[in-house]
């Protein structure tokens, strides 16, 4: 006979009684009934606790979303809210991010699109599609939406990307061309041949299998090659991380495509290598350079965060921006030929987010886009699960393996 009981510690125990032992059938029936009742009680308690946790989690996510969508908040708080929503993921977080595309700041909106792509959630496709199709949006925002769609990598996006591969905005057209080639690559690549990277992001193109710096530089600078092939060379040079590869990437800042140059600056931000500072400084100080490139150069310098970078970012920092911060559209008439910080609100944001360590608590400060290949989805999902258990606002673990400025001091 099998005897089952609930011990004082709440653990279900059982024992197979030998034939020599006897048990009172009435007592057994009562104990079995009590056991069933206890199990049901515990089950209901657990369900109720899970419902409360879910409700609290939803409230917390929505409160963070309110910070993101509040134009009266300092931009540094809104960026931190965005990074936190990206890390938490889920439908509610995506809805909060999508509402912010009505904001005036092009800088913020292009970051929204990037984060939606990195979240790897199909729910974001209609939102990103709408942004890409909206010609009233700045080309920089539309470009980032196209890149995010390519990062999601779904075959059904091909028709949409084909439609915009010859968009009048060069940045948008080139981005869609690269995204199309990434979809084609994903369709043909075998899982065993996927390239893994130490950088925690989904890149617009996979690294090239080539490792010779001279050959990679030749591909990087050959404008007869497709942008996709040149991007592959770029990410391979990034992964090598040598002085020679950094110098080769620095040459990439002389390419004719602004999209290409901005990606080089982005890669330097990922690498966080002081050897790239001269290249980034030159790009940022060039007032004739495309705003998208200068923005990425400033952000990369903020990621490297040495004293030299701080001084560059502080250049002409006395200029006071109106509130709310203007968009790229409103900014252009205000720019003087000699001004760095007047080009974008980014310099002000970087000096508040990346430089003062007292502002970011115990978290290390690195760029928002330290990308890895994103192919190891099981590991990603496990890390994301860890993040959802982390108390918000403490600079906890980031499933994107970036060390973005944490959500700190935000009031509900």
Q: What does pTM read for this prediction?
A: 0.67
Helical H runs in 305-389?
A: 307-314, 328-331, 346-353, 377-388
Residue 339 DSSP symbol: -
- What structural domains and CATH numbers belong to the chain? 203-314+338-371 (1.25.10.10)
Q: What is the pLDDT along the chain (412 residues), one digit of tens a residue?
A: 556 655 555 566 666 655 555 555 656 677 777 777 888 787 777 766 665 555 548 888 999 999 999 999 999 999 999 999 999 899 999 999 999 999 999 999 999 999 999 999 999 999 999 999 999 999 999 999 999 999 999 999 999 999 999 999 999 999 999 999 999 999 987 654 555 667 878 999 999 999 999 999 999 999 999 999 999 999 999 999 999 999 999 999 999 999 999 999 999 999 999 999 999 999 999 999 999 999 999 999 999 999 999 999 987 454 333 333 333 333 333 333 323 333 344 545 554 544 333 333 333 333 344 333 333 334 434 433 443 333 333 333 344 444 343 333 333 3
Show Cβ contacts of residue 276 under 8 Å, excluding neighbours closer than 6 positions.
Answer: 246, 249, 250, 268, 300, 304
Residue 9: CB atoms within 10 Å:
6
Distance in Å from the first CA to the final CA of the chain: 58
- Chain centroid offset of residue 383 CA: 14
- Least Cα distance to 254 among 279, 271, 224, 275 occurs for 279
CA dihedral for 366, 368, 372, 374, sign (positive or negative): positive
Binding residues for Fe cation: 110-111, 143-144, 262-263, 295-296
Q: How far apart are CA 107 and CA 174, in angstroms?
A: 20
Q: Residue ranges for the binding site? A: 110-111, 143-144, 262-263, 295-296
Own/partner long-range contacts of 224-229 (Cβ < 8 Å, ≥24 apart): 226/177, 226/181, 227/174, 227/177, 227/178, 227/257, 227/259, 227/260, 228/177, 228/178, 228/181, 228/182, 228/185
For residues 187 and 190, what is the distance between their CA atoms, to the nearest angstrom? 8
């Amino acid at each position: 006979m099998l005897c089952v009981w609930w011990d004082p510690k709440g653990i279900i125990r059982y024992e197979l009684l030998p034939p020599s032992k006897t048990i009172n059938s009435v007592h057994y029936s009562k104990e079995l009934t009590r056991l069933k009742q206890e199990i049901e009680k515990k089950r209901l308690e657990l369900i109720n606790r899970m419902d409360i946790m879910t409700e609290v989690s939803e409230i917390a996510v929505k409160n963070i979303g309110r910070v993101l969508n509040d134009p009266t908040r300092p931009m540094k708080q809104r960026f931190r809210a965005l990074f936190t929503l990206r890390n938490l993921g889920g439908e509610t977080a995506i809805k909060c991010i999508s509402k912010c595309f009505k904001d005036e700041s092009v800088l913020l909106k292009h970051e929204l699109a990037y984060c939606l792509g990195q979240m790897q959630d199909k729910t974001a496709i209609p939102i990103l599609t709408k942004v890409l199709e909206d010609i009233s949006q700045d080309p920089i925002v539309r470009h980032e939406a196209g890149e995010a769609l390519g990062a999601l990598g779904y075959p059904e996006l091909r028709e949409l990307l084909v439609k915009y591969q010859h968009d009048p905005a060069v940045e948008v057209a080139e981005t869609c061309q690269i995204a199309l080639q990434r979809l084609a690559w994903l369709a043909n690549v075998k899982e065993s041949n996927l390239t893994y990277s130490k950088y925690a992001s989904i890149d617009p193109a996979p690294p090239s299998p080539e490792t010779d710096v001279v050959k990679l530089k030749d591909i990087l600078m050959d404008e007869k090659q497709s942008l996709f092939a040149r991007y592959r060379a770029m990410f391979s040079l990034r992964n090598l991380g040598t002085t020679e590869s950094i110098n080769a990437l620095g040459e990439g800042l002389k390419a004719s495509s602004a999209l290409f140059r901005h990606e080089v600056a982005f890669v330097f931000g990922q690498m966080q290598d002081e050897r790239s500072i001269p290249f980034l400084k030159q790009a940022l100080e060039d007032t004739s350079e495309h705003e998208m490139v200068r923005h990425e150069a400033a952000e990369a310098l903020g990621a490297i965060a040495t004293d030299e970078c701080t001084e560059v970012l502080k250049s002409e920092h006395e200029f006071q921006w109106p509130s709310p911060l203007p968009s790229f559209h409103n900014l252009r008439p205000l720019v003087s030929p000699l001004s760095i910080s007047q080009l974008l609100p980014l310099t002000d944001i970087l000096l508040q987010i990346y430089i003062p360590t007292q502002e970011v608590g115990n978290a290390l400060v690195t760029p928002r886009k330290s990308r890895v290949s994103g192919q190891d989805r099981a590991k990603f999902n496990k890390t994301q699960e860890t993040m959802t258990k982390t108390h918000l606002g403490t600079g906890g673990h980031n499933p994107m393996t970036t060390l973005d400025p944490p959500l700190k001091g935000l009031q509900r």
